[in-house]
Structure 1
Amino acid sequence: MILPDLHLVGARVLLPEGLCDAPLSLSSGRIVEGEVGRVVDLSGYLVLPGIVDIHGDAFEKHLAPRRGAMKDLDQGLIAAEAELAANGITTAILAQFYSWEGGMRGPDFARRVLAALDQVRPRLVTRLLAQLRFETPMLEDYPALQALVAAHAIPYVVFNDHLPHEALAQGKRPPRLTGQALRIGRNPEKHLEYMHALHARMPQLPPALDALCADLSAAGVIMGSHDDRTPETRAEWRARGVRISEFPETLAAAEAAHAAGDAVILGAPNVVRGGSHNGNVSATDLIAMGLCTALASDYHYPSLRRAAFLVSDAGLLPIADAWRLVSAGPAAVLGLTDRGSLTPGQRADILVLDAETRTVRATLSGGCVSYLSGELAARFIS
């Protein structure tokens, strides 16, 4: 239920020009001009635009809290939304694999997740959208991918290739093969045979990808590439209309993407950790160089809020620009022009933090409460 008209006063409000002592009015799920409705005193709090998470897979732990326990996907998605809301996220892209790796990354599980999301979405407050992370060597699945995108109105597809091509080309047994196969209930030798078959068809990939990307682009699907390493790779994707570079692994790839006007998505955990967990280029360095369009939660939802403040506290960017990396920046990449800033006409997607501790105390998505805690609850309810 959308909250009645409210006039929020006393807080430090983050507007596009920066933090200021300004009132904020909400009506019918939107931010409006002038004073409307009941006055709510938010002294001691910060009010910021709701966070837009452009890529996150931390929801997986809610879908399968234990190996094999993947029956009640709707309940898992409801639990995932609770975590998103508790971290100030008002719009979230759930990054679901469609991969030869099987199990929770396999096509059958992807279909189950998408069906469950369609079923549960009307009951949620946080806006949850799906992204398919598609493994490009799966040539036989190109038609199935397109059908799935159309059936579930999936707005965003990202292309991956996690095949261990070097080991396969040398006839070596890829590391962790047996454990991976047994985990998904597949015979290790059959799994290896399948990987070799995918690898053998790689020469057929470029023209097939050209056609697939053309079809997806014509359908209005946003497309991204994952883990770009070289400017040449980024240029190949750009030629196909793939204008988002997710988690580029090198400075050269990020510079090439930025120079061509492509969106560069980096991982918030990389900022919080102080570097990549696997030795790739530092997200903090890329932000300092002006090469980041948006930050994503990747595998850890709390990192989005923390990363924005770390960037601001370190003096790399003013708070308005740092926060834009987790709000207006990702919203613009996704074409969601109705959110990301606290300006009249925008959705009332709002995050309220304790000004001293920066703890999330309230999250509103479209003027509906998705999270409310502590002493602040009394101010809203009374």
Structure 2
Amino acid sequence: MIRRLPPLRLTGATVLRDDALRAGDLSLAEGRIVAGVRGGNAVDVDLSGYLLLPGIVDMHGDGFERHIAPRPKAPFPIDMALHSVDRELAAHGITTAWLAQGWSWEGGLRGPDFAEKLAAALEAYRPNAMTDMRMQIRCETHMPETRDRMIAAVRRFGIDYVVFNNHIPEAIQMVREAPQNLAHWAEREGGSIEDFIARIRAAQDRAGDVPRHLNALAAAFDEIGVQYGSHDDPDGETRDLFHAIGARICEFPTRTSAASVAKTYGDAVVMGAPNVVRGGSQVGNVAATTLISRELCDVLVSDYHYPALPVAASMLAQGGTLTLARAWAMISTNPARIMKLADRGTLDPGKRADIVVMNAETRVIEATLARGELAYIAGEAAARFMSVLSPSRLAAE
């Protein structure tokens, strides 16, 4: 755990506040942003030449999977992986993150057994975490037989975000048209192709139970207070159906029509930052920048690559699509609001001191503070912090 810093005044920087970048100072104490700090124990850190931005709130990222299993047949201990993920998040300015874990008929690292193991490991690791890591469940729709088990896991581990997705059509198409790709999918989840096809068929056979299953889950989530949505909606009709059961978040709509229907309802639309950075979807779906330019996207998330989040915001600003203030809101203010985290997402007094220190010229993140603690520090920013935070002073704190 990073030792709590003394009260700080971050001076000379450009601060993102009230939807605009303005020259000014930022004060923090006891893990919170404050209107000002007084007294001899306050420390000034000169951050001229830097931008101070709210910590990034990442609603959906599965990049953690590569820390757990960098190769399909080479898994590592979960606690070791979480330690590494925590540090990667901080290095890219992410102070709150949902690890998007599968609850799927696929089994292996995306099955219910592993989901429960990850949730337990995350619960044990959290007291020592630098960032606020949470777990999102990606619930495959065709698993009604696991409903009670899922609800119990959500309650036990305090899981606060679930999205519904259905990969059966994709899997059936792959069986018919590209079985060689299915073999890779099966290997990734640790099984044979024959066993994998059997799982697909069994899940498909449960289609008649899916509507009742989803309604029952939605009712349970409403009672518990879980945010829930859908993932990869292919069209407006699908979004209609998920909206009807109360799923108010539309993750990764694959076509403009699904995003348009979501916005008509006032539902939040979430897209991947890698889609912005790479200039489009890797599988040919709608481009995130298309939805952003049409005001059909509220939030960007890391998806499969954590570094993409701050880079995407900078690219949107540099390309003139949005101001940096509006682009950064898509990765901080908006997701915090959607997930009902009133204590973060802006740099207003009283909020958590989740702060990104970005070099104004290079747009490289050189420091991240999470709850007022230094979670990551590098470059010239490190020199400036360390020049005033002497070891003796930190020891006294």
* TM-score by shorter chain over 0.5: yes
Match of residue 124 from structure 1: 129
Query: Which residue of structure 1 lines up, in the alignment, with residue 116 of structure 2?
Result: 111
Partner of 1:285: 290
In structure 2, what is the equivalent of residue 76 of structure 1?
81
Q: Give 2:382's aligned residue.
A: 377
How far is the alpha carbon of 1:308 from its aligned partner?
Answer: 0.8
Aligned AA for 1:222? Q
Q: For residues 77 and 147 of structure 2, what CA distance do their matches in structure 1 show?
A: 28
Residue aligning to 1:19:
21
2:34 equivalent among 20, 32, 44: 32
Q: CA deviation at 1:95?
A: 0.4
Inter-partner Cα distance in structure 2 for 1:270 and 1:253: 17
Report Cα offsets for 1:177-198 as digits up to 9, x if no partner: 3443345443433332232121
Task: Classify the secondary structure of the residue corresponding to 2:350.
Answer: coil
1:234: which partner in 2?
239
Amino acid at match of 1:147: A
State the distance in 2 between where 1:112 and 1:71 align.
Answer: 13
Q: Distance in 2 between matches of 1:13 and 1:317?
A: 18
Tell me whether 1:141 sits opposite 2:143 in the alignment: no
Q: Which runs of 5+ in 2 are unaligned?
A: 389-397
| Residue 305 of structure 2: aligned partner | 300
Once residues 9 and 187 of structure 1 are traced to their aligned partners in structure 2, the CA distance between those partners, rounded to angstroms, is 59
Q: Tell whether the 8 Å contact from 1:138 to 1:198 is kept in structure 2 after alignment.
A: yes
**Farther-moved stretch of structure 1 (27-36 vs 237-246):** 27-36
The gaps in structure 1 that reach 5 residues or longer are none
Separation of aligned partners in 2, 1:2 and 1:171: 54
Tell me if structure 2 keeps the 8 A contact 1:95–1:133: yes
**Distance in 2 separating the partners of 1:196 and 1:294:** 35
Q: How far off its partner does 1:172 sit?
A: 4.3
Cα 1:260–1:377 change in 2 (3 A) is same
Tell me what 1:63 maps to.
Answer: 68
Q: 1:182 to 1:358 in 2, by over 3 A?
A: closer
CA, structure 1 residues 206+33, in 2 after alignment: closer, same or farther (shift >3 Å)? Answer: same
Residue 66 of structure 1 and its aligned partner are, at CA, apart by 3.1
Give distance in 2, aligned partners of 1:307 and 1:216: 32
The answer for the alignment partner of 1:8 in structure 2 is: 10
* 2:168 counterpart SS class: coil
Number of the residue aligned with 1:89: 94
Q: Give the 3 Å change call, closer, same or farther, for CA 17–174 of structure 1 in structure 2.
A: closer
Q: 1:174 to 1:135 in 2, by over 3 A?
A: farther
CA contact (8 A) 1:338 1:346 kept: yes
5 Å-filtered alignment, 1:153-168, equals 153-164=158-169, 167=172
Structure 1 residue identity aligned to 2:256 = L
Asked if structure 2 preserves the Cα contact closer than 8 Å seen for 1:165 and 1:199, the reply is no
Distance in 2 between the 1:166 and 1:80 partners? 29
Instruction: Give the superposition deviation at 1:133.
Output: 0.5
Distance 1:224 1:13 in 2: 33
Which residue is equivalent to 1:343? 348
Counterpart Cα distance in 2 of 1:166 and 1:30: 47
Q: How far does residue 232 in structure 1 lie from its aligned partner after superposition?
A: 1.5
**What percent of counterpart residues are identical?**
49
Structure 2: distance between partners of 1:114 and 1:364: 25
Q: Paired residue for 1:365? A: 370
Cα distance, 1:201 vs structure 2: 1.8
Greater shift in the superposed pair: 44-53 or 67-76: 67-76
Q: Distance in 2 between matches of 1:140 and 1:117?
A: 25
- Contact kept in structure 2, 1:164 and 1:174, CA below 8 Å: no
RMSD: 1.8
* Residue 258 (structure 2) aligns with: 253
Distance 2:284 2:129 in 1: 37
Give the deviation of 1:256 after TM superposition: 0.7
Whether the 8 Å CA contact 2:72–2:190 is kept in 1: the answer is no
Task: Give 1:190-209 correspondences, 5 Å limit.
Answer: 190-209=195-214
Amino acid at match of 2:314: F
What is the CA–CA distance in structure 2 between the aligned matches of 1:173 and 1:281, rounded to whole Å? Answer: 23
Report the AA paired with residue 190 of structure 1. D
How far, CA to CA, are the matches of 1:79 and 1:227 in structure 2?
28
2:391 aligned partner: none
TM-score by length of 2: 0.92
Closer, same or farther: CA 172–38 of 1 in aligned 2, 3 Å: closer
Query: How far apart are the structure 1 equivalents of 2:271 and 2:311?
Result: 14
Deviation at 1:104, TM superposition (A): 1.3
CA separation in 2, counterparts of 1:43 and 1:177? 53
1:228–1:182 distance in 2 versus 1, CA, 3 Å: closer
Question: Aligned equivalents of 2:20 and 2:310: distance in 1?
Answer: 16
SS in structure 1 of the partner of residue 124 of structure 2: helix
Quick one: structure 1 residues 350 and 199, their matched pair in 2 at CA, closer, same or farther if it must change by over 3 Å?
A: same
Report SS of the residue matched to 1:164.
helix
